[in-house]
Amino acid sequence: METEGGITVRRALELPGLRAGLPEVLACADRLDRTVRWVHAGEAPNIPALLKGGELLLSTGLGLGSRPADQRAYVRKLADRGIAALVVELGPRFERLPTAIVEAARTAGLPLVQLHREVPFVAVTEEIHTEIVNGHYALLQRAEEVHRRCTQAVLGGGGVPQVLGILADFAANPVFLETPDGRLLFAAGAGPVGADPLQVWEGLRGDRAARETPPAGALLVEVPGGGLGAGSVRARLVLLPVSGPLVTVHRMAAERAAGILAVVLMQARQEDEVAARGRGDFLTDLAEGRIAPEDAPAQAGVLGFRPGGDPLLPVVMRLAPESAPSGSWALLARAVTEELAAVGSPVLVGVRPVEGRVPLLLALRPGTTRAALGDRVAAALRAGAGRAGLERAGDRTPVVVVVGAAGGWAAAGAGLRHVAEAATAAQGLGERPWYDARSLDIDLLLWRLRDHPDLASFVDRAIGPLREHDRTSRPALLPTLEAYLAHAGRKAEAARELHLNRQTLYNRLARIGELLGTDLDDPQAVLALSLALRARRHTL
């Protein structure tokens, strides 16, 4: 039987030293599979206070006391300390152990053994300790075998899934790799009756409370990170005891596997980031005209992108500057690439950390519309950003996705440049799954004029009185004007969006016209106000 770094009481009684004493089990013969962590010999009445638990206590009975009450109290104290078993050698003190001691041991659940022959306690202690040390060495050998197999798998080209698979096979339980905050990265091993490990994780680790309080018997081992701090953690291994118990050797093996995973993750992060930056450089060079359209297909093919003759769809995901991940671009690139694999179109994904952008080109397959592909790509990009920790439920999304116009290689460079600039101009707009780059041309023009003093003057002339009103008075009127213009002057729709009755809306519009000294039914006035509202994002 596997033990927690020791041997069982049963095995100790089978060794020559104790077997020579003709041992007789008087109580709790069904608990002889308890683990013996250490052996101690002693006669002092206060010896229970000196024990830590897991000991096999050898005694001649001198410290057990002469009164039944003292004997029962002594046995109870030993049981409370959690010792493995009490072995008493018969002789001058006892010809046979008293009934009070035997009954107290049975009541406390403590294995009790009497020896009918004298044995040298020193020899017994040495023999059992040697067996324990040998057991520890055997555990180390088993754990080192797991380490050797994991190392061979990695040297043979394997990665995280192979390492987790080896550990799961060894532990005969599912194994998971999580981020430090508990998000699942990889899973391996089957659950009970062949259950999918992802189902097991969802059931036992899927909610925050379960991650904060792991199931009884679970093992959590940190995978060290590459940070400067001593406590830097890149990920954590989680072993769940769903098919059987987890014991010391499983922790030892997991700790060794964690060391290998740290190297694999560090190498993967470096390689992924270098590759993703290389693809980002290619896409940027294409956008900036440094790669001729006729040379682009061959260079893209080297990077694994072969769209054939299908039109190319340029897309950019831009991160808000304050939310761009520090040192996690490899994780972002990998997550986005894996999510985009489900889109079903050839794709080339790069990263540009300096600009906070993820540029990509996709092949627009026959039978797929630009709008449908845009929906799928935007969903995949946002899912990848979520896996990288940029999008969380309930948070406002610091991500903007812009889709350009489809075309051939000749138009791909200009298309990438257009969507990249449009994505910058779109920062701060309302929440949308994705933006059509062509619908952002006015925002892009205004963004390019953001540092020109005439733009700020224009905004102040057009809506300055309204901004001043909203600083000091309620209700604020700018939201009313925005809703009115967004619905092209359709008052009923604007009222519904603002949750106002029509008369209230009419009153507010009249007040807006009065403050601005303009007619909201005049097309030229409406155009100027629309431009001013869009430009104010760049002049605040």
Sheet containing 55-59: order of strands: 23-27, 112-115, 85-89, 55-59, 38-41
Torsion from C-alpha of 132, 137, 140, 144, nearest 10 degrees: -160
Q: Are 529 and 462 in contact (CB under 8 A)?
A: yes
CATH topology of domain 292-447: Alpha-Beta Plaits (3.30.70)
- Locate CATH 3.40.1390.20 in the chain: 7-130
Give CA–CA dist 281/283, Å, rounded. Answer: 6
Give CA–CA dist 396/330, Å, rounded. Answer: 23
Q: 60-82 burial string, b = 16+ CB within 10 Å, else e?
A: bbebbbeeeeebbbbbbbbbebe
CA proximity to 300, closest of 352, 353, 362, 344? 362
Q: Are 142 and 249 in contact (CB under 8 A)?
A: yes
CA proximity to 401, closest of 312, 284, 313, 316? 316
CA proximity to 57, closest of 87, 24, 33, 27? 87
Q: Taking the alpha carbons of 20, 108, 82, 238 in that order, is the dihedral positive or negative?
A: positive
């969006």: which residue's tokens?
Answer: 497
- Locate CATH 1.10.10.2840 in the chain: 449-538
Q: pLDDT tens-digit profile of 108-153? A: 999 999 999 999 999 999 999 888 888 778 778 888 999 999 999 8
**Segments of the chain scoring below 50 in pLDDT:** 1-3, 227-231, 392-396
Output the CATH code of domain 449-538: 1.10.10.2840
Q: Is domain 158-266 classified as CATH 3.30.450.40?
A: yes
Give CA–CA dist 173/171, Å, rounded. Answer: 5
Q: End-to-end alpha-carbon separation of the chain, Å?
A: 72
Q: Are 220 and 235 in contact (CB under 8 A)?
A: no
CB contact set of 302 (below 8 Å; sequence gap of 6+): none
Alpha carbon 477 to chain centroid, angstroms: 44
| The one-letter amino acid at 530 | S
- Locate CATH 3.30.70 in the chain: 292-447
CB contact set of 370 (below 8 Å; sequence gap of 6+): 313, 364, 403, 405, 406
CATH topology of domain 7-130: 3.40.1390
Give CA–CA dist 262/269, Å, rounded. Answer: 10
What does the pLDDT read at residue 4? Answer: 53
- Locate CATH 3.30.450.40 in the chain: 158-266
What does the pLDDT read at residue 76? Answer: 94
